[in-house]
């Protein structure tokens, strides 16, 4: 039934929609929006959205051309169901030297936890990013850009509800958020073998201690099989 998806809007970056040529013509063709596309509303069926990995979309957008054929090939190398708390939301492949391998290397996937940074300003978020380095995929939520604590809480809850982030790191100056924010039910009632509590997901830390706090105090730093 396409009706529900046809009522949804192509109103932002990252909307996932089926490409079709008419009623009941959905096949395996799909597209992602790089911005609002109202001309697609009511014509193409929305069935999902991008929740993380927007840097991949940025890279794909750069190889686009006016003729429609990308300047460099874009290939989907893997796909499957996203399982919260099990499927890594961000990371990269690393060719680790391996003397026993025919090629001399073995490819491993290095997980980068997606960390929402709640701080008074973007300048403080930048300090967190520098401290975390490459061990995390940060998402800035500066209070001055979201209209105060309430706006930040709304954004954090939205990201958590979509499983778009793994950890929320809060600057000491924003400690009021710790009292006001609770985990969505989908985070506390999980059958993924991970028993989560608020203190392991939403943690307070200074920029200089961000990496240690992520590794030693967050659930993802302690979860078996996750490297930080």
Query: How high is the pLDDT of residue 225?
Result: 43
Burial class, 129, CB count within 10 angstroms (exposed 0-12 / middle 13-18 / buried 19+): middle
When the pLDDT of each residue in the chain is averaged and rounded to a whole number, the result is 86
Query: How high is the pLDDT of residue 139?
Result: 93
Query: How high is the pLDDT of residue 224?
Result: 46
The domains spanning 3-62 and 113-222 adopt the same CATH topology: no
Closest to 200 in 3D by CA, of 161, 157, 169, 158:
169
State the pTM of this model. 0.76
pLDDT, one tens digit per residue, over 150-162 is 999 999 999 999 8
CA dist 69 and 109 (Å) reads: 30
Query: How high is the pLDDT of residue 27?
Result: 63
pLDDT, one tens digit per residue, over 127-140 is 999 999 988 999 99
Query: How high is the pLDDT of residue 74?
Result: 87
Cβ contact 55:14 at 8 Å: no
Query: What is the domain partition of the chain in residue ranges?
Result: 3-62, 113-222
| Residue range 3-62, CATH number | 2.40.100.10
Distances (CA, A) of 129 to 81, 185, 216, 226: 30, 29, 18, 20
49: tokens are 């959205």
Q: Which fold has domain 113-222?
A: Rossmann fold (3.40.50)
pLDDT, one tens digit per residue, over 159-217 is 999 899 999 999 999 988 888 888 888 887 766 566 688 999 999 999 999 999 999 99
Residues of the chain above pLDDT 90, percent: 42
Query: How high is the pLDDT of residue 226?
Result: 45
């Amino acid at each position: 039934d396409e009706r529900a998806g046809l009522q949804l809007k192509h109103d932002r970056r990252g909307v996932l929609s089926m490409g079709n040529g008419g009623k009941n013509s959905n096949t395996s063709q799909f597209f992602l929006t790089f911005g609002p596309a109202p001309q697609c509303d009511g014509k193409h069926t929305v069935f999902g959205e991008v929740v993380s990995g927007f840097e991949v979309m940025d890279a794909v957008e750069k190889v686009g051309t006016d003729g429609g054929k990308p300047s460099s090939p874009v290939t989907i190398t893997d796909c499957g169901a996203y399982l919260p708390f099990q499927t890594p939301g961000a990371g990269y492949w690393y060719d680790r030297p391996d003397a026993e391998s025919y090629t001399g290397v073995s490819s491993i996937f290095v997980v980068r936890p997606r960390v929402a940074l709640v701080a008074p300003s973007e300048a403080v978020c930048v300090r967190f990013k520098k401290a975390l380095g490459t061990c995390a995929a940060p998402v800035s939520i500066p209070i001055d850009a979201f209209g105060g604590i309430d706006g930040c809480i709304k954004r954090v809850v939205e990201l958590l509800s979509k499983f778009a982030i793994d950890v929320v790191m809060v600057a000491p100056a924003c400690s009021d958020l710790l009292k006001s924010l609770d985990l969505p039910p989908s985070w506390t009632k999980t059958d993924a073998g991970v028993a989560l509590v608020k203190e392991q997901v939403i943690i307070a830390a200074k920029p200089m201690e961000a990496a240690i706090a992520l590794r030693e105090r967050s659930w993802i730093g302690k979860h078996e099989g996750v490297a930080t």
